[in-house]
Structure formats: structure tokens, C-alpha cells
């Protein structure tokens, strides 16, 4: 399915391949939750493009799979920016949604992201706490070193996994979930994400993606109370292939 070209920082040069009921990549599903791998062109919630949203795709997938006469229940637990790929979690019951929402609110969910950046970050490992202010007009966040009006505390750790001839490979562990947090923080550190021209990258990617991938999420199952870790493979791309090699070698 091809998506609209409106609403992107720059017109994509390549066709936008979005998830639908036929190509949806389901990573895990039981009676309570479903996790899927979001494509970088998928939109989780509606925006000015009016493209079909991922939650509607998953809802339709469940309706067809279980032959439901009415609309399938689906609760949105968290969000991922449109140009970002990776694992995203949905609740299939109101009880699961309530408990997972509380877990996210209390910072009981661990998330791991992969980022391809240029140049390398200033240190091989870092723990960053800054304060982000969002401007609605341009849908962009700005990082500050001190608290202030309308600024929200943002915290993450990162680790440099390896370096290539042009790009570096960074694993990121966000503690908070602020607007564009990883993107603006890495940019503030002087190492913007490949393709992310909103935050300082030199050029866009052809498909309007950025090289940021939600690699894994770890949480307590809302009903079974078991530790869950769900991992999503990154898109097919030579740089992501290199990141996988680095990860497997450690």
C-alpha cells in the first residue's frame, strides 16, 4: 500500500510501503496483548496526511483473524514517531490496557532503541538528563540543560556499539518517553540520526524514514505476570545489517 506524500519533511523519493492486513508483522500475540513491528512509513495515530493508521490495521487484522461480527477491541499503549520503525505494543482488553498504561507511567517498561548517527557521540557511554520544550507550530522539541517553563525532564542512557567508515552505531535506553526525546537528545550531543533532517541530519533517506529503530521492549505481562521481552528486526538495509553483526558479536 502506498502512503500519501504529504506531511513529510521532504517529499519521499521511494514508494512508501505501509503495513496492512496481509503484510502485518506480528511479533507476539495472546488473549491479552499483541505486538507488531511498525514500518517506518506507518503512522500510529492520525495526522494531516489522513493515511490509514496502524491501530486501524491491527484492529482489522484481529477482526478478520477471529471472524468477529463487530469491531475488535484494541488499546493504544504507547506511540512511535512515524519515520521510526520497530516494536509497538497494543492491548486486546481494557484490563490489559489499564495495567500496561500504568506500567509505562511508573517507568516499569524497559525499551531499547538502535540509532545510526553521524558523527559519533562524544563518549562511548553516556547518561543524559535534559529538559525538553515542545513547539506545536513546527512539531519539534528543543533540549535545555536547566528546568524552565513548559520544559519536561528527559532521561536516557546510550552506548556506542561500533563505528563504520561514515556512520556510528548507538544503542539507546530511554528512561522517559518525551516527544522526539531520542532524536533531539542525540542531536544536542552533536550526533544526529541518519535521515533526520528535522534534527540536523545532512540529508533525508529516500523513503522518508530515519535510522532509528525500536529494537526491544521488556515488561511484566499485564495478566500472566511473566517477564516479557519482545524484539523486532530492523528494516532491510546495509547499515542495519551491519548493526546486527555488531550486536551478534558482542
What does the DSSP assignment read for 88-109?
A: EEEESSHHHHHHHHHHHHTT--
Evaluate whether the domain defined by 26-249 bears CATH number 3.30.2350.10: yes
Return the pLDDT at 6.
46
List the beta bridge partners of residue 162: 169
Instruction: Report whether 49 contacts 16 (CB < 8 A).
Output: no
Residue ranges for the chain with pLDDT beneath 50: 1-7
CA distances from 198 to 18, 23, 39, 183, 222 (A): 22, 29, 19, 9, 36
Q: Angle CA(124)–CA(128)–CA(132) in degrees, nearest 5?
A: 140
Alpha-carbon distance of 191 to 117, in angstroms, equals: 6
DSSP-assigned beta bridge partners for residue 116: 169
Q: Please tell me whether residue 246 adopts helix, strand or coil conformation.
A: helix
Nearest 5°: the CA angle 45, 51, 55 is: 40
194 contacts 242 by C-beta, under 8 angstroms: no
Nearest-angstrom CA–CA distance, 121 and 194:
13
pTM: 0.93
| Chain centroid, CA 216 distance in Å | 10
Cα 214–chain centre separation: 5
Rg (CA), the chain: 18
Confidence at residue 8, expressed as pLDDT on a 0 to 100 scale: 55
| pLDDT tens-digit series, residues 28-49 | 999 999 999 999 999 998 777 7
- Look up residue 222 and give its three cell numbers: 499485564
Residue 10 pLDDT: 60
How high is the pLDDT of residue 178? 96
- Among residues 240, 244, 232, 236, the alpha carbon closest in space to that of 193 is found at 240
Amino acid at each position: 500500500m502506498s502512503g500519501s506524500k504529504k506531511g513529510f519533511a521532504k517529499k519521499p523519493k521511494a514508494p512508501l510501503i505501509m503495513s496492512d492486513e496481509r503484510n502485518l508483522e506480528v511479533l507476539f500475540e495472546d488473549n491479552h496483548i499483541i505486538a507488531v513491528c511498525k514500518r517506518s512509513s506507518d503512522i500510529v495515530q492520525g495526522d494531516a496526511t489522513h493515511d490509514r493508521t496502524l491501530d486501524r490495521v491491527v484492529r482489522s487484522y484481529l477482526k478478520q483473524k477471529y471472524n468477529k461480527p463487530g469491531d475488535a477491541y484494541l488499546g493504544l499503549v504507547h506511540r512511535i514517531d512515524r519515520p521510526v520503525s520497530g516494536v509497538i505494543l497494543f492491548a486486546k482488553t481494557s484490563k490489559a490496557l489499564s495495567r500496561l498504561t500504568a506500567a509505562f507511567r511508573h517507568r516499569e517498561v524497559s525499551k531499547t532503541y538502535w540509532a545510526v548517527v553521524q558523527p559519533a557521540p562524544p563518549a562511548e557511554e553516556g547518561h543524559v538528563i535534559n529538559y525538553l520544550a515542545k513547539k506545536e507550530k513546527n512539531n519539534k522539541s528543543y533540549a535545555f540543560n536547566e528546568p524552565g517553563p513548559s520544559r519536561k525532564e528527559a532521561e536516557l542512557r546510550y552506548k556506542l556499539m561500533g563505528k563504520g567508515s561514515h556512520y556510528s552505531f548507538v544503542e539507546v535506553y530511554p528512561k522517559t518517553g518525551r516527544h522526539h526525546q531520542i532524536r533531539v537528545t542525540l542531536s544536542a550531543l552533536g550526533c544526529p540520526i541518519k535521515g533526520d533532517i528535522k534534527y540536523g541530519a545532512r540529508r533525508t533517506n529516500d523513503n522518508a524514514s530515519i535510522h532509528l529503530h525500536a529494537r526491544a521492549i521488556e515488561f511484566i505481562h499485564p495478566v500472566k505476570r511473566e517477564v516479557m521481552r519482545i524484539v523486532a528486526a530492523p528494516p532491510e538495509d546495509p547499515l542495519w545489517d551491519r548493526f546486527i553483526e555488531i550486536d551478534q558479536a558482542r
